[in-house]
Chain A
Amino acid sequence: MPDFTQHISLDLSFEEIKLPPFQDVLIVGKHSPQGKIGLRKSFELMAPNDFKLIDCADDNVETVFISYHILKKIPEATLLNVLRERVFPFVSSNELVKVDLRLRIKINGIEISK
Protein backbone atom coordinates (compact mmCIF):
# COMPACT_ATOMS: atom_id res chain seq x y z
CA MET A 1 0.00 0.00 0.00
CA PRO A 2 1.62 3.29 -1.07
CA ASP A 3 1.73 6.03 1.53
CA PHE A 4 -0.03 9.17 0.59
CA THR A 5 -1.50 12.20 2.26
CA GLN A 6 -4.49 14.14 1.18
CA HIS A 7 -5.14 17.83 1.80
CA ILE A 8 -8.36 19.59 1.20
CA SER A 9 -8.17 23.34 0.93
CA LEU A 10 -11.00 25.75 0.58
CA ASP A 11 -11.14 29.32 -0.64
CA LEU A 12 -14.27 31.28 -0.10
CA SER A 13 -15.72 34.64 -0.68
CA PHE A 14 -19.11 36.04 0.06
CA GLU A 15 -21.22 38.99 -0.84
CA GLU A 16 -24.73 40.18 -0.33
CA ILE A 17 -27.18 39.51 -3.13
CA LYS A 18 -30.63 40.84 -3.78
CA LEU A 19 -33.54 38.81 -5.01
CA PRO A 20 -34.93 38.78 -7.57
CA PRO A 21 -31.62 38.99 -9.45
CA PHE A 22 -32.65 42.06 -11.42
CA GLN A 23 -33.83 45.42 -10.22
CA ASP A 24 -35.40 47.20 -13.17
CA VAL A 25 -36.48 45.15 -16.18
CA LEU A 26 -36.58 41.45 -17.04
CA ILE A 27 -37.32 40.35 -20.60
CA VAL A 28 -38.78 36.85 -20.96
CA GLY A 29 -38.25 35.03 -24.26
CA LYS A 30 -41.13 33.02 -25.73
CA HIS A 31 -39.35 29.72 -25.20
CA SER A 32 -37.26 30.53 -22.16
CA PRO A 33 -37.15 27.64 -19.68
CA GLN A 34 -38.89 29.75 -17.04
CA GLY A 35 -42.24 31.03 -18.25
CA LYS A 36 -44.13 34.13 -17.18
CA ILE A 37 -46.56 32.37 -14.81
CA GLY A 38 -43.82 30.68 -12.79
CA LEU A 39 -41.75 33.87 -12.73
CA ARG A 40 -44.70 35.99 -11.65
CA LYS A 41 -45.45 33.56 -8.85
CA SER A 42 -41.85 33.63 -7.64
CA PHE A 43 -41.71 37.46 -7.77
CA GLU A 44 -44.97 37.62 -5.83
CA LEU A 45 -43.27 35.60 -3.13
CA MET A 46 -39.91 37.41 -3.24
CA ALA A 47 -40.96 40.97 -3.93
CA PRO A 48 -44.73 41.40 -3.69
CA ASN A 49 -46.17 44.23 -5.81
CA ASP A 50 -42.75 45.34 -7.07
CA PHE A 51 -43.06 44.37 -10.73
CA LYS A 52 -45.60 44.82 -13.46
CA LEU A 53 -46.01 42.04 -16.01
CA ILE A 54 -46.54 43.35 -19.55
CA ASP A 55 -47.22 40.93 -22.43
CA CYS A 56 -45.56 41.88 -25.71
CA ALA A 57 -46.52 41.16 -29.32
CA ASP A 58 -43.07 40.20 -30.56
CA ASP A 59 -41.57 37.24 -32.43
CA ASN A 60 -39.14 36.35 -29.64
CA VAL A 61 -40.31 38.15 -26.51
CA GLU A 62 -43.31 36.95 -24.54
CA THR A 63 -43.39 39.25 -21.56
CA VAL A 64 -41.52 42.04 -19.81
CA PHE A 65 -41.42 42.54 -16.04
CA ILE A 66 -40.83 46.18 -15.15
CA SER A 67 -40.29 47.61 -11.69
CA TYR A 68 -43.08 49.90 -10.53
CA HIS A 69 -40.33 52.27 -9.31
CA ILE A 70 -39.26 52.76 -12.94
CA LEU A 71 -42.82 53.14 -14.17
CA LYS A 72 -43.32 55.93 -11.66
CA LYS A 73 -40.69 57.92 -13.54
CA ILE A 74 -41.18 57.01 -17.19
CA PRO A 75 -44.41 56.16 -19.04
CA GLU A 76 -44.84 52.45 -19.73
CA ALA A 77 -45.37 52.93 -23.51
CA THR A 78 -42.22 55.06 -23.82
CA LEU A 79 -40.06 52.51 -22.03
CA LEU A 80 -41.57 49.64 -24.03
CA ASN A 81 -40.79 51.44 -27.28
CA VAL A 82 -37.18 51.91 -26.21
CA LEU A 83 -36.91 48.23 -25.27
CA ARG A 84 -38.59 47.14 -28.48
CA GLU A 85 -36.21 49.19 -30.63
CA ARG A 86 -32.97 48.85 -28.69
CA VAL A 87 -33.09 45.56 -26.76
CA PHE A 88 -35.59 43.14 -28.31
CA PRO A 89 -33.48 42.67 -31.49
CA PHE A 90 -30.75 41.13 -29.31
CA VAL A 91 -33.05 38.78 -27.38
CA SER A 92 -33.34 35.12 -28.43
CA SER A 93 -36.62 33.34 -27.83
CA ASN A 94 -35.05 30.95 -25.31
CA GLU A 95 -33.44 33.62 -23.11
CA LEU A 96 -34.19 35.63 -20.01
CA VAL A 97 -32.49 39.03 -20.27
CA LYS A 98 -32.16 41.53 -17.45
CA VAL A 99 -31.90 45.17 -18.34
CA ASP A 100 -30.31 47.66 -15.95
CA LEU A 101 -31.47 51.22 -16.40
CA ARG A 102 -29.88 54.38 -15.16
CA LEU A 103 -32.63 56.89 -15.18
CA ARG A 104 -31.93 60.53 -14.46
CA ILE A 105 -34.56 63.20 -14.34
CA LYS A 106 -33.40 66.74 -14.82
CA ILE A 107 -35.70 69.65 -14.29
CA ASN A 108 -34.61 73.14 -15.35
CA GLY A 109 -36.04 76.56 -15.05
CA ILE A 110 -38.20 76.22 -12.01
CA GLU A 111 -39.23 79.61 -10.85
CA ILE A 112 -40.13 79.99 -7.25
CA SER A 113 -42.01 83.14 -6.43
CA LYS A 114 -41.73 84.51 -2.94
Chain B
Amino acid sequence: MSTLLQHHLIQSYSEVGLYDGVFRARGWLSEGRPVVVKDEGRFCGVLTGQDLLHRSHVLVADCLVEKPILHLSQTIEEVLEMMAINRWEYLPVCKTNEMELVGLVSNTWLIQCGLTQTDHDENKVADLQKLLALKDRFLSILSHDVKNLFHQLGGTLEMLDRKLLSLRPEEIKNILALSRESTHAIHLAFENMVNWANASHREILFRPIAISLQNQFEKMARAFKLAADGKGINMVNRLTEDMSVHADLHMVTSILLNLTFNAIKFTGSGGTITFQAHRHSHAVQITVSDTGRGIPAQELAKIFHQKINTVGTNKERGTGMGLMLCREFVEKHGGRIWIESEAGKGTQVHFTLPDL
Protein backbone atom coordinates (compact mmCIF):
# COMPACT_ATOMS: atom_id res chain seq x y z
CA MET B 1 0.00 0.00 0.00
CA SER B 2 2.86 2.40 -0.50
CA THR B 3 1.75 3.51 -3.95
CA LEU B 4 2.33 7.18 -4.66
CA LEU B 5 -0.52 9.57 -5.29
CA GLN B 6 0.45 10.28 -8.88
CA HIS B 7 -1.24 7.08 -10.04
CA HIS B 8 -4.58 8.02 -8.50
CA LEU B 9 -5.16 11.61 -9.53
CA ILE B 10 -8.58 12.84 -10.62
CA GLN B 11 -8.36 15.26 -13.51
CA SER B 12 -12.06 15.66 -14.11
CA TYR B 13 -13.58 18.45 -12.06
CA SER B 14 -15.61 21.62 -12.42
CA GLU B 15 -14.26 25.10 -11.77
CA VAL B 16 -15.89 27.98 -9.98
CA GLY B 17 -14.72 31.51 -9.11
CA LEU B 18 -13.89 32.47 -5.52
CA TYR B 19 -16.48 35.26 -5.54
CA ASP B 20 -19.13 33.36 -7.49
CA GLY B 21 -22.39 32.29 -5.87
CA VAL B 22 -22.59 28.72 -4.61
CA PHE B 23 -25.62 27.81 -6.73
CA ARG B 24 -23.75 26.26 -9.67
CA ALA B 25 -21.22 24.55 -7.41
CA ARG B 26 -24.05 23.05 -5.36
CA GLY B 27 -25.45 21.47 -8.53
CA TRP B 28 -22.10 19.94 -9.50
CA LEU B 29 -21.48 18.62 -6.00
CA SER B 30 -24.92 17.04 -5.86
CA GLU B 31 -23.97 15.16 -9.04
CA GLY B 32 -20.84 13.91 -7.26
CA ARG B 33 -18.51 16.11 -9.31
CA PRO B 34 -15.62 17.74 -7.39
CA VAL B 35 -15.35 21.53 -7.62
CA VAL B 36 -12.09 23.47 -7.79
CA VAL B 37 -12.14 27.13 -6.75
CA LYS B 38 -10.01 29.67 -8.60
CA ASP B 39 -9.57 33.42 -8.43
CA GLU B 40 -8.29 35.07 -11.60
CA GLY B 41 -6.79 31.75 -12.69
CA ARG B 42 -5.04 31.19 -9.36
CA PHE B 43 -5.92 27.96 -7.52
CA CYS B 44 -7.65 28.71 -4.17
CA GLY B 45 -8.98 25.38 -2.94
CA VAL B 46 -11.39 22.50 -3.37
CA LEU B 47 -15.03 22.96 -2.45
CA THR B 48 -16.80 19.89 -1.05
CA GLY B 49 -20.32 18.97 -0.06
CA GLN B 50 -19.27 19.12 3.59
CA ASP B 51 -18.18 22.74 3.16
CA LEU B 52 -21.69 23.65 1.99
CA LEU B 53 -23.25 21.70 4.84
CA HIS B 54 -21.22 23.57 7.42
CA ARG B 55 -21.39 27.03 5.92
CA SER B 56 -24.68 28.25 4.55
CA HIS B 57 -23.51 31.42 2.78
CA VAL B 58 -24.19 32.66 -0.73
CA LEU B 59 -20.59 33.13 -1.91
CA VAL B 60 -18.09 30.37 -2.62
CA ALA B 61 -15.44 32.39 -0.74
CA ASP B 62 -17.46 32.17 2.48
CA CYS B 63 -18.20 28.46 2.16
CA LEU B 64 -14.74 27.27 1.19
CA VAL B 65 -13.03 25.50 4.10
CA GLU B 66 -9.24 25.57 4.03
CA LYS B 67 -7.77 22.13 3.40
CA PRO B 68 -4.23 20.76 3.28
CA ILE B 69 -2.38 20.71 -0.03
CA LEU B 70 -0.88 17.36 -1.01
CA HIS B 71 2.19 16.68 -3.09
CA LEU B 72 2.86 13.95 -5.64
CA SER B 73 5.50 12.27 -3.50
CA GLN B 74 3.07 11.46 -0.68
CA THR B 75 1.84 7.89 -0.23
CA ILE B 76 -1.78 6.78 -0.23
CA GLU B 77 -1.36 5.63 3.37
CA GLU B 78 -0.37 9.00 4.78
CA VAL B 79 -2.97 10.82 2.71
CA LEU B 80 -5.74 8.49 3.85
CA GLU B 81 -4.66 9.03 7.44
CA MET B 82 -4.87 12.80 6.91
CA MET B 83 -8.25 12.56 5.14
CA ALA B 84 -9.69 10.32 7.86
CA ILE B 85 -8.88 12.80 10.64
CA ASN B 86 -10.92 15.60 9.13
CA ARG B 87 -13.23 13.55 6.93
CA TRP B 88 -12.08 15.33 3.77
CA GLU B 89 -13.85 14.00 0.68
CA TYR B 90 -11.38 15.50 -1.80
CA LEU B 91 -7.96 17.09 -1.40
CA PRO B 92 -5.90 18.98 -3.99
CA VAL B 93 -2.48 17.81 -5.16
CA CYS B 94 -0.07 20.57 -6.19
CA LYS B 95 3.50 20.74 -7.43
CA THR B 96 5.97 20.92 -4.54
CA ASN B 97 6.39 24.49 -3.24
CA GLU B 98 3.92 25.81 -5.79
CA MET B 99 0.20 26.40 -5.79
CA GLU B 100 -0.13 24.84 -9.23
CA LEU B 101 -2.87 22.22 -9.19
CA VAL B 102 -1.99 18.90 -10.79
CA GLY B 103 -5.15 17.01 -9.78
CA LEU B 104 -7.38 15.89 -6.93
CA VAL B 105 -7.52 12.78 -4.80
CA SER B 106 -10.77 11.31 -3.49
CA ASN B 107 -11.09 9.58 -0.12
CA THR B 108 -13.48 6.94 -1.42
CA TRP B 109 -11.41 6.23 -4.51
CA LEU B 110 -8.19 5.84 -2.50
CA ILE B 111 -9.85 3.45 -0.04
CA GLN B 112 -11.12 1.36 -2.93
CA CYS B 113 -7.64 1.30 -4.46
CA GLY B 114 -6.20 0.28 -1.09
CA LEU B 115 -8.68 -2.54 -0.66
CA THR B 116 -7.96 -4.00 -4.07
CA GLN B 117 -4.15 -3.87 -3.78
CA THR B 118 -2.47 -7.21 -4.38
CA ASP B 119 0.07 -6.94 -1.57
CA HIS B 120 -2.61 -8.22 0.87
CA ASP B 121 -1.45 -6.40 3.94
CA GLU B 122 -4.28 -7.71 6.08
CA ASN B 123 -3.80 -5.30 8.96
CA LYS B 124 -4.06 -2.31 6.72
CA VAL B 125 -7.07 -3.65 4.90
CA ALA B 126 -8.73 -4.30 8.28
CA ASP B 127 -7.83 -0.78 9.33
CA LEU B 128 -9.43 0.70 6.24
CA GLN B 129 -12.50 -1.44 6.68
CA LYS B 130 -12.73 -0.19 10.27
CA LEU B 131 -12.67 3.37 8.97
CA LEU B 132 -15.44 2.61 6.51
CA ALA B 133 -17.48 0.96 9.28
CA LEU B 134 -16.99 4.04 11.50
CA LYS B 135 -18.16 6.26 8.67
CA ASP B 136 -21.30 4.12 8.30
CA ARG B 137 -21.85 4.24 12.07
CA PHE B 138 -21.78 8.02 12.11
CA LEU B 139 -24.13 8.19 9.18
CA SER B 140 -26.59 5.89 10.94
CA ILE B 141 -26.45 7.88 14.21
CA LEU B 142 -26.83 11.14 12.32
CA SER B 143 -29.74 9.94 10.23
CA HIS B 144 -31.43 8.44 13.28
CA ASP B 145 -31.26 11.53 15.50
CA VAL B 146 -32.12 14.00 12.77
CA LYS B 147 -34.95 11.80 11.54
CA ASN B 148 -36.58 11.96 14.99
CA LEU B 149 -36.54 15.74 14.97
CA PHE B 150 -37.82 15.97 11.40
CA HIS B 151 -40.64 13.68 12.38
CA GLN B 152 -41.76 16.19 15.03
CA LEU B 153 -41.71 19.05 12.57
CA GLY B 154 -43.46 17.05 9.85
CA GLY B 155 -46.28 16.15 12.24
CA THR B 156 -46.86 19.77 13.17
CA LEU B 157 -46.89 21.00 9.60
CA GLU B 158 -49.33 18.24 8.74
CA MET B 159 -51.59 19.37 11.59
CA LEU B 160 -51.32 22.98 10.42
CA ASP B 161 -52.27 21.90 6.92
CA ARG B 162 -55.29 19.95 8.21
CA LYS B 163 -56.62 22.57 10.61
CA LEU B 164 -55.50 25.78 8.94
CA LEU B 165 -58.97 27.14 8.25
CA SER B 166 -60.26 26.50 11.77
CA LEU B 167 -57.28 28.05 13.58
CA ARG B 168 -57.19 31.60 14.90
CA PRO B 169 -54.36 33.84 13.60
CA GLU B 170 -52.63 33.83 17.01
CA GLU B 171 -52.75 30.02 17.09
CA ILE B 172 -51.17 29.86 13.63
CA LYS B 173 -48.56 32.37 14.70
CA ASN B 174 -47.78 30.29 17.76
CA ILE B 175 -47.42 27.08 15.74
CA LEU B 176 -45.16 28.80 13.23
CA ALA B 177 -42.99 30.18 16.04
CA LEU B 178 -42.65 26.69 17.48
CA SER B 179 -41.88 25.29 14.02
CA ARG B 180 -39.09 27.79 13.71
CA GLU B 181 -37.77 26.66 17.10
CA SER B 182 -37.93 23.08 15.84
CA THR B 183 -35.97 23.81 12.67
CA HIS B 184 -33.37 25.52 14.86
CA ALA B 185 -33.16 22.36 17.02
CA ILE B 186 -32.76 20.21 13.89
CA HIS B 187 -30.05 22.45 12.55
CA LEU B 188 -28.25 22.40 15.89
CA ALA B 189 -28.49 18.62 16.22
CA PHE B 190 -27.26 18.17 12.66
CA GLU B 191 -24.36 20.54 13.09
CA ASN B 192 -23.36 18.99 16.42
CA MET B 193 -23.37 15.53 14.92
CA VAL B 194 -21.34 16.54 11.89
CA ASN B 195 -18.79 18.31 14.10
CA TRP B 196 -18.64 15.31 16.35
CA ALA B 197 -18.10 12.95 13.43
CA ASN B 198 -15.42 15.22 12.04
CA ALA B 199 -13.60 15.40 15.36
CA SER B 200 -13.62 11.63 15.82
CA HIS B 201 -10.64 9.83 14.43
CA ARG B 202 -10.79 6.04 14.13
CA GLU B 203 -13.29 5.72 16.93
CA ILE B 204 -16.24 7.69 18.23
CA LEU B 205 -14.86 10.65 20.16
CA PHE B 206 -15.46 10.59 23.91
CA ARG B 207 -14.83 13.90 25.65
CA PRO B 208 -16.55 14.20 29.06
CA ILE B 209 -17.31 17.69 30.35
CA ALA B 210 -19.52 19.16 33.09
CA ILE B 211 -23.14 19.08 31.92
CA SER B 212 -26.13 20.61 33.68
CA LEU B 213 -29.07 18.23 33.36
CA GLN B 214 -31.45 21.13 33.85
CA ASN B 215 -30.07 22.83 30.71
CA GLN B 216 -30.31 19.62 28.75
CA PHE B 217 -33.92 19.18 29.80
CA GLU B 218 -34.74 22.71 28.65
CA LYS B 219 -33.21 21.98 25.24
CA MET B 220 -35.21 18.75 24.94
CA ALA B 221 -38.41 20.46 26.07
CA ARG B 222 -37.94 23.14 23.39
CA ALA B 223 -37.11 20.64 20.65
CA PHE B 224 -40.11 18.44 21.45
CA LYS B 225 -42.63 21.08 22.55
CA LEU B 226 -44.51 20.91 19.28
CA ALA B 227 -44.86 17.15 19.35
CA ALA B 228 -45.83 17.07 23.04
CA ASP B 229 -48.36 19.90 22.64
CA GLY B 230 -49.74 18.21 19.55
CA LYS B 231 -50.56 15.09 21.57
CA GLY B 232 -51.58 16.99 24.71
CA ILE B 233 -48.65 15.50 26.65
CA ASN B 234 -47.36 17.27 29.74
CA MET B 235 -43.55 17.32 30.10
CA VAL B 236 -42.60 17.60 33.77
CA ASN B 237 -39.17 18.65 34.96
CA ARG B 238 -38.16 17.38 38.39
CA LEU B 239 -34.46 17.97 37.86
CA THR B 240 -32.85 20.27 40.37
CA GLU B 241 -30.43 23.01 39.36
CA ASP B 242 -27.47 21.39 41.10
CA MET B 243 -27.84 18.11 39.18
CA SER B 244 -24.83 17.85 36.86
CA VAL B 245 -22.93 14.98 35.30
CA HIS B 246 -19.43 14.51 33.90
CA ALA B 247 -20.22 13.17 30.46
CA ASP B 248 -19.81 13.59 26.72
CA LEU B 249 -22.23 16.28 25.57
CA HIS B 250 -23.03 14.71 22.20
CA MET B 251 -23.72 11.34 23.71
CA VAL B 252 -25.92 12.76 26.48
CA THR B 253 -27.84 14.83 23.92
CA SER B 254 -28.32 11.77 21.76
CA ILE B 255 -29.50 9.64 24.74
CA LEU B 256 -32.02 12.24 25.91
CA LEU B 257 -33.18 12.89 22.35
CA ASN B 258 -33.91 9.20 21.85
CA LEU B 259 -35.56 8.62 25.21
CA THR B 260 -37.76 11.71 24.89
CA PHE B 261 -38.74 10.77 21.34
CA ASN B 262 -39.68 7.25 22.51
CA ALA B 263 -41.65 8.57 25.48
CA ILE B 264 -43.67 10.91 23.25
CA LYS B 265 -44.08 8.20 20.63
CA PHE B 266 -45.64 5.69 23.03
CA THR B 267 -47.64 8.06 25.22
CA GLY B 268 -51.19 8.82 24.27
CA SER B 269 -53.13 12.06 24.50
CA GLY B 270 -53.22 13.63 27.98
CA GLY B 271 -50.25 11.61 29.25
CA THR B 272 -47.24 12.81 31.22
CA ILE B 273 -43.49 12.50 30.71
CA THR B 274 -41.30 13.14 33.73
CA PHE B 275 -37.57 13.79 33.94
CA GLN B 276 -35.86 13.27 37.29
CA ALA B 277 -32.44 12.43 38.69
CA HIS B 278 -30.95 11.16 41.97
CA ARG B 279 -27.40 10.92 43.23
CA HIS B 280 -25.99 7.50 44.12
CA SER B 281 -22.41 7.49 45.50
CA HIS B 282 -20.37 8.53 42.43
CA ALA B 283 -23.12 8.35 39.85
CA VAL B 284 -26.29 10.19 38.92
CA GLN B 285 -29.29 8.07 38.06
CA ILE B 286 -31.50 9.78 35.50
CA THR B 287 -35.04 8.59 34.88
CA VAL B 288 -37.32 9.41 31.98
CA SER B 289 -40.77 8.05 32.76
CA ASP B 290 -43.99 8.15 30.81
CA THR B 291 -47.59 7.14 31.33
CA GLY B 292 -47.77 5.52 27.91
CA ARG B 293 -48.78 2.08 26.75
CA GLY B 294 -45.73 0.30 28.19
CA ILE B 295 -43.57 -2.43 26.69
CA PRO B 296 -44.60 -6.10 26.54
CA ALA B 297 -42.45 -8.36 28.77
CA GLN B 298 -41.17 -10.43 25.81
CA GLU B 299 -39.73 -7.30 24.17
CA LEU B 300 -38.08 -5.94 27.33
CA ALA B 301 -35.39 -8.64 27.39
CA LYS B 302 -34.12 -7.90 23.88
CA ILE B 303 -34.83 -4.19 23.67
CA PHE B 304 -31.21 -3.02 24.09
CA HIS B 305 -29.73 -5.74 21.91
CA GLN B 306 -31.64 -5.82 18.68
CA LYS B 307 -33.35 -3.46 16.30
CA ILE B 308 -37.02 -3.14 17.27
CA ASN B 309 -39.26 -0.84 15.29
CA THR B 310 -42.68 -0.32 16.81
CA VAL B 311 -45.23 2.18 15.53
CA GLY B 312 -46.22 4.92 18.04
CA THR B 313 -49.68 5.94 19.28
CA ASN B 314 -49.93 8.47 16.43
CA LYS B 315 -48.35 6.08 13.92
CA GLU B 316 -44.91 7.64 14.50
CA ARG B 317 -42.05 5.59 13.10
CA GLY B 318 -38.41 5.48 14.19
CA THR B 319 -35.35 3.62 12.94
CA GLY B 320 -35.57 0.97 15.64
CA MET B 321 -31.99 1.49 16.80
CA GLY B 322 -32.43 4.30 19.35
CA LEU B 323 -32.15 2.19 22.49
CA MET B 324 -29.16 0.27 21.14
CA LEU B 325 -27.39 3.60 20.65
CA CYS B 326 -28.40 4.71 24.17
CA ARG B 327 -26.94 1.55 25.69
CA GLU B 328 -23.68 1.99 23.73
CA PHE B 329 -23.32 5.61 24.87
CA VAL B 330 -24.23 4.93 28.53
CA GLU B 331 -21.78 2.03 28.71
CA LYS B 332 -19.07 4.21 27.20
CA HIS B 333 -19.39 6.26 30.43
CA GLY B 334 -19.18 3.11 32.58
CA GLY B 335 -22.90 3.50 33.31
CA ARG B 336 -25.89 1.18 33.13
CA ILE B 337 -29.26 1.53 31.45
CA TRP B 338 -32.37 -0.46 32.25
CA ILE B 339 -36.12 -0.29 31.79
CA GLU B 340 -39.08 -0.96 34.04
CA SER B 341 -42.36 -1.18 32.24
CA GLU B 342 -45.82 -2.53 32.60
CA ALA B 343 -48.15 -2.89 29.65
CA GLY B 344 -50.84 -0.22 29.76
CA LYS B 345 -49.30 1.67 32.71
CA GLY B 346 -46.14 3.26 31.39
CA THR B 347 -42.39 2.97 31.19
CA GLN B 348 -39.44 4.22 33.22
CA VAL B 349 -36.05 4.27 31.56
CA HIS B 350 -33.20 4.63 34.06
CA PHE B 351 -29.57 5.22 33.25
CA THR B 352 -26.52 6.23 35.23
CA LEU B 353 -23.76 8.68 34.35
CA PRO B 354 -20.72 9.75 36.39
CA ASP B 355 -21.39 12.50 38.95
CA LEU B 356 -19.57 15.79 38.43
Contacts and interface: CB of A to CB of B under 8 A. Distances in A.
Q: Do A and B bind each other?
A: yes
A64 to B, nearest CB: 16
A2 interface: no
Nearest to B59: A38
A41 B19 contact: yes
B62 interface: yes
A94 B61 CA distance: 17
Nearest to B56: A31
B63 interface: yes
Interface string B1-37: 0000000000000000001000000000000000000
B56 A37 contact: no
B57 interface: yes
A35 interface: yes
B267 to A, nearest CB: 32
A32 interface: yes
A38 B56 contact: no
A89 interface: no
B178 to A, nearest CB: 16
Nearest to A38: B59
A81 interface: no
Contacts of A36: 62
Contacts of A31: 55-57, 187
B58 interface: yes
A38 B55 contact: no
Contact of B19 (A33, A38, A94): A38
Given A35-B58, A35-B62, 9 more contacts: A31-B187, A33-B56, A34-B58, A35-B61, A36-B62, A37-B59, A37-B61, A38-B59, A41-B19
Question: What 5 A-B pairs are tightest by C-beta distance, nearest first?
Answer: A35-B62, A35-B57, A38-B59, A37-B61, A33-B58
27 contacts: A31-B55, A31-B56, A31-B57, A31-B187, A32-B57, A33-B56, A33-B57, A33-B58, A34-B57, A34-B58, A34-B59, A34-B62, A35-B57, A35-B58, A35-B59, A35-B62, A35-B63, A37-B59, A37-B61, A37-B62, A38-B19, A38-B57, A38-B58, A38-B59, A38-B62, A41-B19, A41-B61
Interface of B: 19, 55-59, 61-63, 187
